[in-house]
Structure 1
Amino acid sequence: MGRDWKFYAQLGLTIVLCLFIMIPVVMSALAGVTVNVFKGLSSGLTLRWIFEVWDLYAASIVRSLGISIACLLVTLVAGVPLAYVLVRRPGRLTRLFEELLTLPVAIPGLALALALLITYGGFGQYRMSWLFILTGHVLFTLPFMVRSVAAVMAAMDMKTLEEGAASLGAGFWRRFFGVIVPNAKPGILAGALMVVTLSIGEFNLTWMLHTPLTKTLPVGLADAYASMRLEIGSAYTLIFFVLIVPLLIAMQAFADTAKRPPKRDDTAEDTI
């Protein structure tokens, strides 16, 4: 079957859109390794700006990664059981709770940060620590974890799985961790992907919650563009890409692996 002009028109439009998105990314990355951004590549290549970014913002980069990992752990511990309850016990109260859970996503990040400052800003040590930022990140990312896991749990016959495991003598916790959680793995991995990426890249909420001693990667990136040479800001962006892109690829690979059906044992079938 031949391909008509519509196929090539769609292909051309897709390529144009991809170039429109990717060219600024490439230009920003190149600016971070050129001697002078205004002269371009003719000024030569250098790693000076990357080393300067690391010297100035290494603590912010490491802190941002630590907060994203802590955020992932908290949302896993809280989000998976919450998704189970929402799916297993549907009703008015669970629907109301689900709506309240999504409020942090619906309201602007600055408004959420202001609410946290008004409520907990008086606790000095807590306010000055990275745990304050972690609280905001958990509130913002928890709905994504719950929705992803709940969607997978709702698609499987959870009641039948639990009844089958219970008939074999499995208690609640064994049914939950041995049956429900493994079957919900695709949703858990998808939720983990969103939580980590959203936490690392979150700026609006973090900008209001941070202190000079608790800057994260996006806040440091904004400072670099506002107060440093353009090359340093671009080098900071390049470091951000180096950190986030391999993480995205790795987590996507895990998610794809979890979605694949198990391989058939042809040898066993032949024996039967």
Structure 2
Amino acid sequence: MTPLSRRVGRPAVTVVLLATVTFLIAPVALTIVASFAREWTGVFPSGFVTFRNWQQVLGLADTIGSQRSMGWDPLFTLPVNGGVTVLAPSELFFSVGLALGGVLINLVVGVPIAYAVARYEFRGREWVSAVSVLPLVPGVVLGVAFLRAYPTLSGTSFGLIVGYSLLKVPFMVMAVRSEFESMPLRQLEESARALGASWPRTFLTVIVPNARSGIVSGAIICWTLAAAEFNFSYIVWAKGTQPLALFLQRHISNSTFTKAAAAVSMFFCIVVAITLLLQAVGTRGFDTRGS
């Protein structure tokens, strides 16, 4: 006879897992559904299906005042029919670029720090480990400190990139360090060096590719959190094209719920797209076969 724990335990675990996943996904699914509704005055949205909310959020329909939607700027001109100007959503491209710039700095700085802490024993190792996660503070705290420490960078695009990288580098260090600590680093290095590989080649073609899971995970976490960083953006940014976090705040605070749902749904779509892109680029970039 099958033990009672097996007959009851497995179905119980399955039910708990399904309930947890449903609980986590339900708000996202309901928000996406509400973005295609005309209104939401009762328990559930009504008046399906309309694309008006998405058109307003994307700047394809007229809006006024504080409900101003995403701006579109000329990207390039095609030599067709006397010249056709191709427009691009400026706030979307601006925010994606800022967050990716922060991720690039996180990769250049965070991966070597994680490797050094995981691989070597040296004086002050604990201090390096502590300092690497020191920026793990609320964005409002770092924003105020950033204004005083780097006044010339405040209100600039580069200042936002640097700030995002400072705020999110602890996530990169922790994700990659845990991956390095699970690897036999010494054995991998000694094997590669014994075959004639230099230390830089060993690090870039042996160590880093073996840690790709942690690096890709850290990059995805850093980008997602940077793109939605509101407190730091609100304090540091001055004027001009707004980061995506301020764009979302504007719609959530000053729009109907269905329009706010469209803005949030757009952010969900961007997160999914960038996540898939980072995974694809990370997997292909770390594939050293044939090299």
Given the superposition, is the C-alpha separation of residues 235 and 79 from structure 1 closer, same or farther in structure 2, using an over 3 Å criterion?
A: same
CA distance in 2, matches of 1:156, 1:16: 35
Which residue in 1 is equivalent to 2:36?
33
Query: Is residue 2:118 matched to residue 1:87?
Result: yes
Secondary structure of the 2:40 match is coil
Q: Which residue of 2 aligns with 1:16?
A: 19
Q: Distance in 2 between matches of 1:96 and 1:71?
A: 24
- Spell out, residue by residue over 1:52-100, the C-alpha distance to the aligned partner (whole angstroms, 9 max, x if none): 1111223222211111211121111112222222223223412201101
Partner of 1:120: 150
Distance 1:23 1:89, change over 3 A: closer
Q: How many pairs align?
A: 256
Greater fraction of residues in helix:
1
Given the alignment of the two structures, is residue 162 of structure 1 paired with residue 193 of structure 2, yes or no? no
Alignment gaps of 5+ in structure 1: 263-272
Distance change in 2, residues 1:19/1:87 (3 Å): closer
Instruction: Please state if 1:47 is matched with 2:51.
Output: yes
- Give the TM-score taking structure 1 as reference length: 0.82
Aligned to 2:159: 132
Secondary structure at 2:135 match in 1? helix
Q: Which runs of 5+ in 2 are unaligned?
A: 60-68, 71-88
Matching of residues 177-196 of structure 1 within 5 Å: 177-196=204-223
Q: In 1, distance between residues paired with 2:175 and 2:285?
A: 14
The residue identity in structure 2 corresponding to 1:110 is V
Instruction: Name the SS for the 2:58 alignment partner.
Output: helix
Shift of the alpha carbon at 1:215? 2.1
Give, in whole Å, the separation in 2 of the partners of 1:212 and 1:51.
24
- Cα deviation, residue 252, structure 1: 5.4
Equivalent residue runs for 1:186-265 within 5 Å: 186-249=213-276, 251=278
Which of 97, 104, 116 matches 2:128? Answer: 97
Deviation per CA, 1:73-129, whole angstroms, max 9, x where unpaired? 111111222222222322341220110111111x222111111011112x1xx3221
How big is the shift at 1:236? 0.3
C-alpha distance in 2 between matches for 1:166 and 1:206: 45
Give 1:46's aligned amino acid.
T
Give, in whole Å, the separation in 2 of the partners of 1:15 and 1:161: 40
Partners of 2:146 and 2:154 within 8 A in 1? no
Alignment partners' CA distance in 2, 1:25 and 1:180: 38
In structure 2, the CA distance between the partners of 1:164 and 1:45, relative to structure 1 (3 Å rule), is same
- The answer to whether the 8 Å contact 1:189/1:254 transfers is no
CA distance in 1: counterparts of 2:196 and 2:108, whole angstroms: 25
Q: Is the 8 A contact 1:190 1:255 kept in 2?
A: no
In 1, Cα distance between equivalents of 2:257 and 2:150:
37
